[in-house]
Amino acid sequence: MKKQWLKLFAGVISFVLVLTACGGAKEEQKAADGKQNEELPPVELVWNFPLSAIPQDLATVQEAVNKITKEKINATVKLQAHTFADYNQKMNTIVASGEKYDVAWVANWNWDYLQNQSKGAFLELDDLIQQNAPDLLKSMPDFVWDAAKIQGKIYAIPNYQTVTKKEGFVIQKRFADIYNLDVSSIKKFEDIEPFLKQIKEGESPDVVPFLNDKSGRFSLMYQSQGLEAINNVVGVELQNPDKPINLFETPQYKHYLDVMRDWYTKGYINENAATLKNKNDIIKTGNAAVQFHNVLKPGGEVEAKAANGGNDVIYVPITDAYASTGTVITTMQSISKNSKNPERAMMFINLLNTDKELYNAISYGVEGKHYKKVSDNVVQINKDGGYAPNANWVFGNTFNAYLVEGMDPSVMEQTKKENETAQKSPLMGFKFDNTPVMAEIANLATVIDEHLPGLDTGTVDPNTNLKVFQDKLKQAGIDKVIEEMAKQIEAWKQTK
Amino acid sequence: MSTIQVTINKKAAKSSLASKKSSWSSRIINLFFCALSILLIIPLILVISISFTDEKTLLQHGYHLLPEKFSLEAYSLIFKSPGVLLNAYGITILVTVIGTVIGLFLTSLTAYTISRKDYRYRKPMTLYVFFTTLFSGGLVPFYIMVTQYLHLKDTMWALIVPYLLSPFYILVMKGFLDKIPLEVIESGKIDGASEWRIFFTIVLPLSLPALVTIGLFISFQYWNDWWLGLLFIDDQKLVPLQLMLYRVMSTIEYLSNNMSTVNVSIDMTQFPSLSARMAMAVLAAGPMMIVFPMLQRFFISGLTVGSVKG
């Protein structure tokens, strides 16, 4: 009997040993292929970033990237790409388990910058930037750096791109032409109504005069309403930026609801709006005649044309360019607190933002394989090449990128100009830490999910339902959130 | 499990047909199961139909049970570069086969041990197994265990090892093995058989029905899993089929929910169209849909063989 047990035990042990042996062999190999150059010892950096899909041919690009980094900072970089959907969970697990990595992409809409900074995931970067990346500071305007600061310190380096937003309409050009839309007459969002009427009367029922969806349009028009949102419930009046208010109790919101209800009953809004999750399915058909959007950036019409099923669109902005904390910190690179080589990681981020060769290698891949050069500064992307991330804002300073064929060459200049001349938010740099009111935030989210889609799309009557919505928000503890925010704004002003 | 019920119902239906009195109730039962089957089949047909529909008609007229405008474009798009799909297929099949064989072996070994009434520590051992169904370490310790102690990250074993032993299956198996009389085992011992021989030549053949059922559970778990891949696999060559599908779907959903208010640009047209996504789903589910009915005969006969003997 005993002997049998010993046998079994031995069997299990040897099985486990085989498993561990399988995993271990890999790492030694990598350390071996470094060559000595300069006085810097060779290191390997690990970089986590998200993309729409993990590219098939990442290995070739990694090789190309490493050739450049090896020569310039004697470091190799391991590219760890994730998808946008997985990124938050993946990074949370990696950080919580203490797994080693050096650089990670971070933002305010995915793997939250503030939350993870307060967890202590990031290294403070001010000194590292001074020592290792002096050019970096000069490559971006000051307000961009202000936006990235948490309690006066920089914890992540923004990837410089469009840092502004501009609200307005995206209109199908063919309809604008047919009905002779006078673009200069549109100053407020209500001004589009006569045009919607013409479309409703003149076009087939398949055409949606004004596209709306589950999330409503009010959250896209804060700026034109003289508001700035700090989270999805609480914001400030731009006239009075020290006093947080409930966005859903503003007269602007009531007015918006009345207009939407009117449009909905007249049939200008798609009937399924309150349940529509993915509006792109409608946009793709080119049947969305008028959309409201909050990021009308220079040259965006080209991208919008592709999204609208190849139909030409025109932009009709109703505000000027505007920059706030939220528009800047949408894409950044951070360095892990557990990084063994923070200096080298900083040099690498510096290269990403200043070295055109490296930046274009990571953005577009290898020449000849993943893209073709049409002229000196213009590339044509090979969609079947196995590497077409099509999101160069994930990697670094987008002003260093080659132009993609079909893009207007003046776009970069215009973007830069808008960035520099944009109206700046009075709360630039302020970030709301919601940890003290977590429970309230969760309750509010539930209330919003329940009531907002119906109201914001005009599907239900605001006269009876808005009051219910506001009362429920009160019960869910919105006042506590407002109070907390007022406190934090006060404290933030002290540190400035 | 449901197969057992179905056979029982069939038998009940047959015997009741003889007497006219209960033919009413059998009709109701049949109707109920017809309705149930239709409810289960319709979504499947819808998926297949969408995968064969022209993308543009789909967007304009919505879903139909029969394709409004037939198109093979979605499939030709996928088969233009089938390498990724085939690779994912290979990984999933390999993981399912290896995982099921080893998992079944370990599960039955453990269950057999704690079912033996002459094993002194069977109660504490059973409690130990049962305890893990109620309490677990949580995600982060699990992740640390697999990546930093077992060093399985980016290996195929990361997709296999975590599911090898499930306490629930052990307990189900134990429940079955409990019914094997100790006398049978003792008689084997008297004839001079070793413990291994008893296990392989007496216990395992007797527990065939349980092995088949649990083997099926385990293989489905492996086939349908994307979670382990999501956590532990960065190497594109090791991505299993379901993870590949899951990533496409979840990324589209995530971006369409989050991107509207953010000033970064993502080209949503680069994602596979709706019909292409459905075609991928059909290709992923397809083999199982063919394999399962073919094997089902064996499952049922396996089950009945076991029940007669036991």
**ipTM score of the complex?**
0.75
Which of the residue ranges A8-22, A94-108, A192-206, B159-173 would you say has the lowest mean pLDDT?
A8-22
Q: Are A152 and A72 contained in the same domain?
A: yes
- Kind plus residue range of the DSSP H or E element containing A26: helix A2-32
CA A465 to chain centre: 33
d(CA A419, CA A144): 9
The vertex-A26 CA angle with A23 and A27, nearest 5°, equals 110
SS3 A187: coil
- Judging contacts by C-beta atoms under 8 Å, the chain A residues touching residue B261 are 109, 219-220, 294
Res A31: pLDDT: 38
Contact in structure between A430 and A229 (CB atoms under 8 Å): no
Strands A332-335 and A371-375: unpaired
Asked if residue A316 is part of any domain, the answer here is yes
A110 touches B at CB < 8 Å:
yes
Asked if residue A10 is part of any domain, the answer here is no
Query: Is B248 within 8 Å of A53 when comparing Cβ atoms?
Result: yes
- Return the structure tokens found at B239: 């991505």
Q: Are A374 and A413 contained in the same domain?
A: yes
Contact in structure between A352 and A454 (CB atoms under 8 Å): no
Contact in structure between A121 and A115 (CB atoms under 8 Å): no
Mean pLDDT of chain A: 87
Query: Is A24 within 8 Å of B56 when comparing Cβ atoms?
Result: no
- Judging contacts by C-beta atoms under 8 Å, the chain A residues touching residue B152 are 19, 22-23
* Residue A204 confidence class, pLDDT cut points 50, 70, 90: confident
- Return the structure tokens found at A373: 């050069």
Query: Is B268 within 8 Å of A330 when comparing Cβ atoms?
Result: no
C-alpha dihedral, A129 to A131 to A134 to A136, nearest 10°: -20
SS3 A373: strand
Q: Which residue of A has its CA nearest to B141?
A: A97
Q: Name which residue leads in pLDDT, A63 or A151.
A: A63
Residue B148 DSSP class: I
Query: Is A295 within 8 Å of B263 when comparing Cβ atoms?
Result: yes
Strands A288-293 and A208-210: parallel
d(CA A293, CA A220): 6
Query: Is B147 within 8 Å of A97 when comparing Cβ atoms?
Result: yes
- Judging contacts by C-beta atoms under 8 Å, the chain B residues touching residue A384 are 81
Query: Is A20 within 8 Å of B269 when comparing Cβ atoms?
Result: no
- Judging contacts by C-beta atoms under 8 Å, the chain B residues touching residue A332 are none
Asked if residue A183 is part of any domain, the answer here is yes
- For residues A84-108, give the mean pLDDT: 92
Q: Are A316 and A186 contained in the same domain?
A: yes
- Return the structure tokens found at B115: 């079912």
The pTM of this model reads 0.80
DSSP notation for B260-272:
GGSS----GGGSP
Q: Are A315 and A198 contained in the same domain?
A: yes
Res A123: pLDDT: 93
* Residue A9 confidence class, pLDDT cut points 50, 70, 90: low
Q: Are A319 and A334 contained in the same domain?
A: no
* Residue A455 confidence class, pLDDT cut points 50, 70, 90: very high
Q: Which residue of A has its CA nearest to B62?
A: A281
- Judging contacts by C-beta atoms under 8 Å, the chain B residues touching residue A161 are 264
Q: Which residue of B has its CA nearest to A383?
A: B270
Query: B-contacting residues of A 400-459, CB under 8 Å?
Result: none
Res B309: pLDDT: 46
Closest by Cα among A495, A426, A496, A421 to A141: A421
- Judging contacts by C-beta atoms under 8 Å, the chain A residues touching residue B271 are 52-53
Q: Are A388 and A317 contained in the same domain?
A: no
Query: Is B196 within 8 Å of A4 when comparing Cβ atoms?
Result: yes
DSSP notation for A150-207:
ETTEE-EEE--S---BB-EEEEEHHHHHHTT--GGG--SGGGGHHHHHHHHHHS-TTS
Which of the residue ranges A10-24, A86-100, A262-276 would you say has the lowest mean pLDDT?
A10-24
Contact in structure between A168 and A382 (CB atoms under 8 Å): no
- Judging contacts by C-beta atoms under 8 Å, the chain B residues touching residue A162 are 263
- With a CB cutoff of 8 Å and minimum separation 6, the contacts of B32 are none
Mean pLDDT of chain B: 82
- Judging contacts by C-beta atoms under 8 Å, the chain B residues touching residue A280 are 256, 268
Q: Which residue of B has its CA nearest to A398?
A: B264
**Domain end residue (candidates: A399, A431, A463):** A431
- Where in the sequence is the domain holding A199, given as residue range(s)? 168-325
- With a CB cutoff of 8 Å and minimum separation 6, the contacts of A426 are A238, A241
- With a CB cutoff of 8 Å and minimum separation 6, the contacts of B127 are none
The percent of residues above 90 in pLDDT, for chain A, comes to: 55
Handedness of CA A351, A353, A354, A358 (dihedral sign): positive
Strands A332-335 and A103-106: antiparallel
Asked if residue A50 is part of any domain, the answer here is yes
Q: CA–CA distance from A351 to each of A49, A73, A96, A175, A401 (Å)?
A: 16, 9, 29, 46, 13
Half-sphere exposure for A97 (CA within 13 Å, toward CB): 24
Q: Are A313 and A193 contained in the same domain?
A: yes
- Judging contacts by C-beta atoms under 8 Å, the chain B residues touching residue A278 are 252-253, 256
Hey, how many other C-beta atoms are within 10 angstroms of the C-beta on A274?
Answer: 21
SS3 B300: helix
d(CA B258, CA B247): 16
- For residues A415-430, give the mean pLDDT: 90
- Judging contacts by C-beta atoms under 8 Å, the chain B residues touching residue A8 are 109
Give the best residue of A4, A6, A84, A332 to mutate against chain B (max B CB count within 10 A): A84
Q: Are A138 and A281 contained in the same domain?
A: no
Contact in structure between A37 and A66 (CB atoms under 8 Å): no
Q: Which residue of A has its CA nearest to B84?
A: A56
Question: pLDDT below 70 — which residues of chain B?
Answer: 1-21, 259-261, 269-270, 295-310
B249 DSSP β-pair partners: none
Smallest CA–CA separation between A93 and chain B, in Å?
A: 6
- Judging contacts by C-beta atoms under 8 Å, the chain A residues touching residue B196 are 4, 7
Query: B-contacting residues of A 371-400, CB under 8 Å?
Result: 384, 388, 390-391, 393
Contact in structure between B76 and B227 (CB atoms under 8 Å): no
Nearest residue, CB atoms, B263 vs list A277, A281, A330:
A330
d(CA B236, CA A59): 10
Query: Is B266 within 8 Å of A83 when comparing Cβ atoms?
Result: no
Residue A424, class by beta-carbon neighbours within 10 Å (0-12 exposed, 13-18 middle, 19+ buried)? middle
DSSP notation for A33-100:
T----SSSPPEEEEEEEEESS--TTHHHHHHHHHHHHHHHHSEEEEEEEEEHHHHHHHHHHHHHHT--
The percent of residues above 70 in pLDDT, for chain A, comes to: 92
Asked if residue A355 is part of any domain, the answer here is yes
Strands (E), A124-222: 149-150, 153-154, 156-158, 168-172, 208-210
Q: Are A80 and A218 contained in the same domain?
A: no
- Judging contacts by C-beta atoms under 8 Å, the chain A residues touching residue B263 are 162-165, 294-295, 297, 327, 330
Helical segments of B145-268, H only:
157-160, 167-177, 182-190, 195-197, 204-206, 208-224, 227-232, 241-258
Closest by Cα among A34, A338, A300, A351 to A165: A300
Query: Is B264 within 8 Å of A19 when comparing Cβ atoms?
Result: no
- For residues A207-226, give the mean pLDDT: 91
Res B236: pLDDT: 83
A179 touches B at CB < 8 Å:
no
Using the predicted structure, report yes or no on whether residue A403 has a pLDDT greater than 70. Answer: yes
Query: B-contacting residues of A 130-169, CB under 8 Å?
Result: 161-165
Hey, how many other C-beta atoms are within 10 angstroms of the C-beta on A40?
Answer: 15
Query: Is A24 within 8 Å of B151 when comparing Cβ atoms?
Result: yes
Q: Are A292 and A357 contained in the same domain?
A: no
Q: Are A198 and A127 contained in the same domain?
A: no
Closest by Cα among B172, B201, B174 to B185: B201
Res A15: pLDDT: 54
Which of the residue ranges A185-194, A412-421, B291-300 would you say has the lowest mean pLDDT?
B291-300
- Return the structure tokens found at B51: 């995968």
SS3 A157: strand
Q: Are A315 and A173 contained in the same domain?
A: yes
Query: Is B139 within 8 Å of A54 when comparing Cβ atoms?
Result: no
Smallest CA–CA separation between B182 and chain A, in Å?
A: 16
Contact in structure between A234 and A482 (CB atoms under 8 Å): yes
A217 touches B at CB < 8 Å:
no
Using the predicted structure, report yes or no on whether residue A32 has a pLDDT greater than 50. Answer: no
CB pairs under 8 A between A and B: 139
- Kind plus residue range of the DSSP H or E element containing A322: strand A322-323
Q: CA–CA distance from A261 to each of A193, A270, A318, B96 (Å)?
A: 13, 12, 22, 54
d(CA A87, CA A227): 31
- Kind plus residue range of the DSSP H or E element containing A236: strand A234-237
**What's the total number of domains in chain A?**
2
SS3 A116: helix
**Domain end residue (candidates: A325, A343, A362):** A325
Q: What is the CATH number of the domain that holds A242?
A: 3.40.190.10
Closest by Cα among B176, B153, B304 to A46: B153
Residue B198 DSSP class: I
Nearest residue, CB atoms, A84 vs list B196, B251, B269:
B251
Q: Going from the N-terminus, what domains does chain B have, and what CATH number goes with each?
A: 2-309 (1.10.3720.10)
- Judging contacts by C-beta atoms under 8 Å, the chain A residues touching residue B59 are 281-282, 284-285
Give the residue carrying structure tokens 């704690």. Answer: B114
- Return the structure tokens found at B204: 């395992």
Residue A477 DSSP class: T
Give the residue carrying structure tokens 């599960």. Answer: B107
Asked if residue A59 is part of any domain, the answer here is yes
Hey, how many other C-beta atoms are within 10 angstroms of the C-beta on A443?
Answer: 18
- Kind plus residue range of the DSSP H or E element containing A316: strand A313-317
Asked if residue A261 is part of any domain, the answer here is yes
- Judging contacts by C-beta atoms under 8 Å, the chain A residues touching residue B151 are 20, 23-24
Asked if residue A496 is part of any domain, the answer here is no
Q: Which residue of B has its CA nearest to A288?
A: B60
